[in-house]
């Protein structure tokens, strides 16, 4: 096992991550308490996923991160808010996918961290409000659903929106004894896989009523990314061998048809899902999670190479642009949405081989965020990473609280509150396995 970089005091860096989280949480507490998202430049707030109603999104996304960091008073303050004020009985339409990974996942991970039964009950109530979307001939869910009426909308959706449920819903079935959640999540996932092309590729759009594909583009970026991730995760979290076989089939096809080496860098091109012809050399930043998944699934060499390709783009622009064309070697979208994917991948690779290179990528990602994304009342998106100085936007996404701040802390802290050998984090960074609550009790007693 490689020794940690002699020069870096990783635990001091972890303390800095914790202090940034505490500071951002305190700003949220003062200016946006119970709201979905804080606007860190103006100090106001915005709503997501409902258009006008708030569900306390950032608060719920932050909970398990606060717990891992030992910010126990702030954690309890958040849990108390959920118990007193979180209510999903809203006559409003939400994305089934976003609501599940962020809010069902956030409530579940908070429950697993502290054991409070109310958090589990609220996660279950929310899943019950999403379930009606799955009542289709194929078992693949509509894209949207009304939380109060259960009325679904939009049958044309994506493999990621359709198949990113099993870890959260399988955990819900395990904890409640109700098999409906696992069954719905798994049926939807298999329904996508069964419609793969003769090349074993899937595309970005499909009609859940007819099962007909509505696009021809195969990608590991948005619309397909977490479909592949959750095939592997069904195996990692539940030992579901069928999920592993489906993952292996899809990954072999991606590495056969989408693997492009250019100037020694690995990219995963978007291709036509039936011919394999390259259709685009643009990569969206979301695809940069994929190096971590390749490493987890056994293609470590390609996973490491793809992650290094993205690390070079980060080194060039300071922070990652939302879109990058590897053929033109320039950004195609100059915004930065304060996304976690590169450090998500680095963290997953570090869990496998503990190479300090991955911690270093995490450190660079964190230091860049502090330098360019920090605003008066929290951390913000950027409007233009190529401007000098970089121009900030005014929005802190919910995933920031659940993802990169957690990945940085777990990468640097060696916290006794986390089992670094046997764990599972969801695509939203929610810990669904690996909390060491005994250690936490011990810490509180000392
Ligand atoms: O899977 C996801 N996609 C988009 C967000 C992060 O960029 C986040 O919600 C999650 O990681
Ligand atoms: Ca993700």
The 10s digit of each residue's pLDDT in 23-54 is 999 999 999 999 999 999 999 999 999 999 99
Give 395-422 pLDDT, tens digit per residue: 999 999 999 999 999 999 999 999 999 9
Bridge pairing between strands 374-375 and 37-39: unpaired
Decide: helix, strand or coil at residue 366.
Answer: helix
Distances (CA, A) of 376 to 70, 189, 417: 25, 42, 31
Q: Which atom of ligand 1 is nearest to the CA of 225?
A: 1
Kindly tell me the burial class for residue 47, based on how many C-beta atoms sit within 10 Å of its own C-beta (0-12, 13-18, 19 or more). Answer: middle
pLDDT for res 6 = 66
- Are 11 and 410 in contact by the 8 Å Cβ rule? The answer is no
Q: Does residue 96 have a cis bond before it (omega within 30 degrees)?
A: no
Q: What are phi and psi of 60, to 5 degrees?
A: -70, -40
Q: What are phi and psi of 379, to 5 degrees?
A: -105, 140
Decide: helix, strand or coil at residue 293.
Answer: helix
Residue whose tokens read 């990608």: 219
**Nearest residue to 157 (alpha-carbon basis) of 187, 128, 192:** 192
**Nearest residue to 49 (alpha-carbon basis) of 41, 40, 60:** 60
Q: List the catalytic residues.
A: 98, 225, 322, 341
Does the CA dihedral 175-179-181-186 come out positive or negative?
Answer: positive
**Residue 165 neighbours by CB under 8 Å, 6+ apart:** 100, 184, 185, 188, 189, 230
Residue 146 tokens, joined? 């009304």
pLDDT band at 446 (very low <50, low <70, confident <90, very high): very low
99 pLDDT higher than 90: yes
- Residues flanking ligand 1, CB < 6 Å: 226, 286, 339-341, 399, 403, 427-428
Give 231-287 pLDDT, tens digit per residue: 999 999 999 999 999 999 999 999 999 999 999 999 999 999 999 999 999 999 999
| Average per-residue pLDDT for the chain | 97
pLDDT band at 438 (very low <50, low <70, confident <90, very high): confident
Decide: helix, strand or coil at residue 58.
Answer: helix
Q: Which atom of ligand 1 is nearest to the CA of 344?
A: 11
pLDDT band at 442 (very low <50, low <70, confident <90, very high): low
What pTM value is reported for the model? 0.97
pLDDT for res 439 = 77
d(CA 333, CA 304): 25
Which neighbouring-strand residues pair with 282?
325
Residue nearest (by alpha carbon) to ligand 1 atom 11: 428
Residue 330 tokens, joined? 């320039």
Give 291-310 pLDDT, tens digit per residue: 999 999 999 999 999 999 99
Instruction: Output the CA 427–ligand 1 centroid distance in Å.
Output: 7
């Amino acid at each position: 096992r490689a020794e940690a970089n002699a020069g870096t005091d990783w635990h001091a860096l972890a303390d800095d991550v914790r202090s940034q989280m505490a500071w951002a949480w305190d700003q949220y507490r003062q200016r946006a308490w119970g709201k979905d998202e804080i606007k860190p430049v103006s100090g106001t707030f915005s709503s997501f996923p409902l258009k006008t109603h708030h569900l306390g999104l950032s608060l719920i996304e932050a909970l398990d991160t606060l717990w891992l960091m030992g910010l126990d008073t702030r954690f309890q303050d958040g849990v108390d808010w959920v118990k007193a004020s979180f209510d999903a009985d809203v006559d409003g339409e939400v994305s089934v996918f976003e609501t599940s990974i962020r809010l069902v996942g956030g409530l579940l991970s908070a429950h697993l961290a502290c054991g409070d039964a109310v958090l589990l009950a609220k996660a279950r109530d929310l899943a019950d409000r999403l379930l009606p979307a799955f009542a289709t001939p194929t078992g693949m869910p509509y894209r949207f659903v009304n939380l109060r009426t259960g009325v679904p909308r939009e049958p044309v959706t994506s493999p990621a929106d359709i198949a990113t449920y099993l870890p959260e819903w399988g955990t819900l079935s395990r904890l409640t004894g109700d098999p409906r959640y696992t069954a719905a999540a798994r049926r939807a996932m298999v329904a996508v896989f069964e419609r793969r092309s003769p090349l074993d590729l899937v595309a970005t759009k499909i009609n859940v009523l007819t099962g007909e594909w509505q696009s021809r583009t195969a990608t590991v970026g948005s619309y397909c990314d977490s479909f592949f991730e959750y095939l592997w995760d069904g195996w990692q979290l539940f030992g579901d061998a069928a999920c592993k076989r489906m993952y292996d089939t899809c990954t072999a096809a991606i590495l056969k048809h989408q693997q492009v080496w250019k100037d020694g860098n690995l990219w995963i091109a978007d291709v036509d899902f039936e011919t394999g012809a390259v259709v685009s050399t643009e990569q969206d930043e979301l695809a940069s999670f994929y190096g971590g998944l390749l490493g987890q699934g056994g293609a470590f060499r390609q996973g490491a190479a793809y992650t290094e390709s993205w690390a070079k783009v980060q080194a060039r622009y300071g922070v990652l642009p939302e879109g990058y064309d590897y053929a033109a070697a320039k950004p195609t979208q100059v915004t930065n949405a304060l996304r976690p994917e590169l450090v998500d991948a680095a963290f997953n690779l570090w869990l496998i081989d503990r190479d300090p290179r991955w911690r270093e990528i995490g450190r660079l990602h964190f230091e860049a965020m502090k330098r360019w994304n920090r605003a008066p009342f929290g951390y913000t998106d950027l409007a233009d990473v190529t401007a000098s100085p970089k121009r900030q936007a005014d929005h802190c996404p919910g995933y920031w609280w659940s993802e990169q701040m957690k990945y940085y802390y777990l990468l640097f802290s060696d916290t006794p509150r986390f089992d670094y050998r046997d764990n599972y984090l969801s695509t939203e960074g929610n810990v669904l396995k690996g909390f060491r609550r005994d250690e936490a009790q011990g810490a509180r007693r000392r």
